[in-house]
Amino acid sequence: MDADYVIVGAGSAGCAMAYRLAEAGKDVLVIEHGGWDGGPFIQMPGALSYPMNMKIYDWGYETEPEPHLGGRRLACPRGKVLGGSSSINGMVYVRGHAMDFDHWRDSGADGWGYADVLPYFKRMEHWNGGRSDWRGSDGPLHISRGTRENPLVRAFVEAGVQAGYEATEDYNGEKQEGFGPMEATIRKGQRWSAANAYLRPAQKKGAKVVRALARRVVIRDGRAVGVEVKRGGQVEVIGARAEVILAASSLNSPKLLMLSGIGPAAHLAEHGIEVVADRPGVGQNLQDHLELYLQMAATQPVSLFKYWNLLGKAYVGARWLLRKDGPGASNQFESCAFIRSQAGVPYPDIQYHFLPLAVRYDGKVAAEGHGFQAHVGPMRSPSRGEVTLRSADPEDAPRILFNYMSTEQDWEDFRRCIRLTREIFAQDAFAPYRGKEIQPGAEVQTDDELDDFIREHVESAYHPCGTCKMGRLDDPMAVVDPEARVIGVDGLRLADSSIFPQITNGNLNGPSIMVGEKAADHILGRTLAPVNDAPWVHPEWKTAQR
């Protein structure tokens, strides 16, 4: 079994590459360990909390004990299913801020500045928000907004404006900064994953999908020639005539490189793996977004709590199955905000997801019943972690340590997030609905009290990235060059969120798909012409926080 291009991982970037390569007439084969994505828990947006907690769809990874979070192990879900994490995520669509990509370019990812990536965002988008020069209108990835009928959803944006912040009509367009409607990869009430957007059209163009566990890249005389897989209990090699492309996630891609002899030489030697290319950056530079949710009780029965019973859930499910509408057709993140934490910060470094329900990550609702919450966290933590091998056995999970909250800046940033959120919730727009603060609770006020709350309750937003960073050939920590080619091995590329030099603002699904789109063009020897649209930057950012 072989193909011109063998892609490992049918996730966000892998599906995009499979489609663009197949569209160009290439012989493409995609290796995916997970299975079918057609079940209602995946396809119904309102059921988003289920697939992330189901072993059939999730690799089930967790971190090592995090030293700055009291030794807590945090869940680290990654999609093990067609569509990868785009089939189990919250469906929130965020491009990232223009300055994120200019930072990529300035740090050594030549050709990945905002002017270079904007045409790819436009090419991939089918935006259902009307005509906009900033957005794409006929791409494979459908992007929509919720109905925003819930009064709490509108109150959140009004409160932000009352607190003195900007409003924005489109945070994915010219102006990210401000409060406004949130966007989602949902089409006609159905999750629009990378599998729906890209993989099925790729298969119609001849791309093949093989269900198998990738064990390592086969390298001969310095060139990748195939992938060793386990399929149906048998170990075999799938040959690649042109290239092997890893798109297995920021956790599994570095693991596969190391199992293949590409990584920090001393670490590989510890596990008895022969070194093919000594790349100390493999598995390093691990980044993520952490978040907290601040919960308020609601004094009126306006939240989604009315559906949080057997009858309510049956109604939501039936309505979605029959008509693809109602609460099940939305991820319920319908308002959001991107703000700057203080004067002197040039572009937003705090993100809000607003939810018209007070509910925990494990799906348990607040005892108070009706309520609402804002998920908030800083966007650019200075903390860095690593992904390393637990053993040389490909079936062992990688060892994941984010080293969360390892700097004083992390704690200062989170305290500021909590205090700014309380101020927003105190605005008049919430007056008709605002009950008591459920979490952290009004009594939690001092720095020490807030730190205790943060240490105990902070959770991953599930945005791991950066473990095989893109950079120049003379950067010893770079793993891939600006064309996504693995440095030191011919015929091998890597394109997923691993290659991000720095984490982007907001959720990572959008930028991961963009990486797949752009990497496909590098493989095909073509690039879209850069554009010079200048994003909005707060005119008084040096002296004002809002």
- The answer to whether 235 is a known ligand-binding residue is no
In the DSSP assignment, the letter for residue 196 is I
3-state DSSP assignment of residue 219: strand
**Alpha helix (H) ranges present in 395-446?**
408-425
Spatial strand order in the sheet of 183-184: 125-127, 141-145, 183-184
Annotate 27-76 with DSSP letters as a single string.
-EEEEESSB---SHHHH-GGGTTTGGG-TTTB--EEPPPBGGGTTBPPEE
Long-range contacts of 341-345 (CB under 8 A, 24+ apart): 341/378, 341/413, 341/416, 341/417, 341/420, 341/545, 342/416, 342/545, 343/541, 343/542, 343/543, 343/544, 343/545, 344/541, 344/542, 344/543, 345/541, 345/545
A 10 A CB-CB count for 263 gives 30
30 vs 214: CA distance, rounded Å? 11
Task: Report the Cα 97 to chain-centroid distance in Å.
Answer: 14
Catalytically annotated residues:
463
The secondary structure element, H or E, covering residue 218 is: strand 213-220
- The answer to whether 466 is a known ligand-binding residue is no
- The answer to whether 309 is a known ligand-binding residue is no
What six digits make up the tokens of 296? 């308020």
- The answer to whether 90 is a known ligand-binding residue is yes
A 10 A CB-CB count for 288 gives 26
Nearest to 246 by CA among 481, 22, 483, 496: 496
- The answer to whether 182 is a known ligand-binding residue is no
From the annotation, which residues make up the binding site?
Answer: 81, 89-92
From the annotation, which residues make up the binding site for FAD?
Answer: 81, 89-92
